[in-house]
């Protein structure tokens, strides 16, 4: 097997952790990005777009492993299809995919489901593309990264009153720890669907927001808002959680201490 590893999304929150870990493991790394980048630190870049089906052939050429971290709010299934098509033409690389806990349990049926939880439907469809690709594959489902929760908390804190989805809970995980696991899987033999990866604690939404607001020296009233639809119902029932797979070590509070308090 060739030692070259392609990382799609190598410029993103997760991918930025994955790339140096692969380099430390002594692997040649290529990153696919929609923007041009200078090669640096032994990492080569190919410019392309998975949704527009551009530049993928050049990205996959000679790769023995593809760590597919590229993703967005929409269209991860189409991106996976384009990637699989090019990868299958180029050889039989091990395709390693990052998905989300609950992709198989959060039903995206109605317009309300699609508007709020369409992402989970795209991730499930992308998982099916990967599993049905005919390539050796591994998929890891992770819960929300701390970085995502922080971004949402920052946006919500701008409001004078914060609407809180009633009954929702989250189990955020550290993106660096997910990267460690993804790299372990990428350097191993294809595992199919790997056990889920979730953070160490389950939080209510106010339980996530309060420590953030405290760290920023802010106070905000919160108003619970019941959300309609089957997907929201599934989330209230905990479909986005994996308490039995609370393998992450870094807590939300640890993350805030480093990212918010130390910079205050
Ligand atoms: N964030 C979470 O809480 C979470 C939880 C579970 C699973 N995941 C999954 O983990 C993956 C990475 O998430 P993240 O938070 O690291 O994402 P992110 O920070 O938003 O980064 C997205 C990455 O995808 C690339 N990308 C987006 N559209 C692309 C396209 N059309 N063609 C090529 N590359 C494209 C971007 O590269 P350029 O901008 O350089 O083109 C960027 O590197 C995603 O698949 C996501 O669904 C995320």
Mean pLDDT of the region 228-250: 98
Tell me the pLDDT tens digit for each residue of 49-88.
Answer: 999 999 999 999 999 999 999 999 999 999 999 999 999 9
Could you tell me the distance, in angstroms and rounded to a whole number, from the CA of residue 219 to the centre of ligand 1? Answer: 32
Burial 136-154 (b: 16+ CB within 10 A, else e): ebbbbbbbbbbbebbebbe
Could you tell me the distance, in angstroms and rounded to a whole number, from the CA of residue 238 to the centre of ligand 1? Answer: 24
- Residue 1: predicted pLDDT: 46
- Which atom of ligand 1 has the smallest separation from the CA of 123? 47
Could you tell me the distance, in angstroms and rounded to a whole number, from the CA of residue 161 to the centre of ligand 1? Answer: 30
- Which atom of ligand 1 has the smallest separation from the CA of 79? 31
Q: Which residue would you say has higher pLDDT here, 198 or 259?
A: 198
Could you tell me the distance, in angstroms and rounded to a whole number, from the CA of residue 157 to the centre of ligand 1? Answer: 24
Could you tell me the distance, in angstroms and rounded to a whole number, from the CA of residue 70 to the centre of ligand 1? Answer: 4
Tell me the pLDDT tens digit for each residue of 103-114.
Answer: 999 999 999 999
This model's pTM is above 0.85: yes
- Which residue minimizes the CA distance to atom 35 of ligand 1? 70
CB half-sphere exposure, 99, CA atoms < 13 A: 34
Question: In degrees, to the nearest 5, what angle opens at C-alpha 23 toward C-alphas 20 and 29?
Answer: 100
Spatial contact of 143 and 198, defined as CB atoms under 8 Å apart? yes
Would the pLDDT of 5 be above 60?
A: yes
Substitution candidate for ligand 1 out of 70, 86, 177 with most atoms within 8 A of CB: 70
Pocket residues: Cβ below 6 A from ligand 1: 8-9, 11-15, 32-35, 49-51, 69-72, 79, 98, 100, 142, 144-145, 148
At residue 264 the predicted structure's pLDDT band, cuts being 50, 70 and 90, is low
């Amino acid at each position: 097997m060739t030692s070259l590893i392609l990382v799609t999304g190598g410029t993103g929150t997760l991918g930025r952790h994955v790339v140096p870990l692969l380099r430390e493991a002594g692997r040649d790394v290529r990153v696919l990005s929609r923007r041009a980048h200078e090669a640096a630190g032994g990492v080569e870049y190919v410019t392309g777009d998975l949704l527009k089906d551009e530049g993928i052939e050049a990205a996959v050429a000679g790769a023995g492993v593809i760590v597919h971290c590229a993703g967005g709010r929409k269209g991860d299934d189409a991106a996976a299809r384009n990637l699989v098509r090019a990868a299958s033409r180029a050889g039989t690389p091990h395709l390693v995919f990052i998905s989300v806990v609950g992709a198989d349990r959060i039903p995206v049926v109605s317009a309300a489901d699609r508007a709020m939880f369409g992402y989970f439907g795209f991730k499930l469809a992308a998982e099916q593309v990967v599993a049905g690709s005919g390539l050796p594959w591994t998929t890891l489902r992770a819960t929300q990264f701390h970085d995502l929760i922080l971004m949402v908390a920052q946006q919500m804190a701008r409001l004078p009153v914060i609407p809180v989805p009633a009954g929702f809970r989250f189990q955020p995980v550290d993106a660096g720890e997910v990267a460690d696991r993804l790299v372990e899987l990428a350097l191993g033999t294809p595992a199919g669907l790997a056990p889920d990866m979730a953070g160490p604690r389950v939080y209510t939404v106010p339980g996530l927001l309060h420590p953030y607001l405290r760290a920023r020296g802010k106070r905000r009233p919160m108003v619970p808002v019941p959300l309609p639809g089957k997907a929201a119902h599934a989330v209230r029932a905990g479909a986005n959680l994996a308490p039995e797979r609370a393998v992450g070590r870094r807590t939300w509070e640890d993350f805030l201490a480093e990212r918010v308090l130390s910079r205050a």
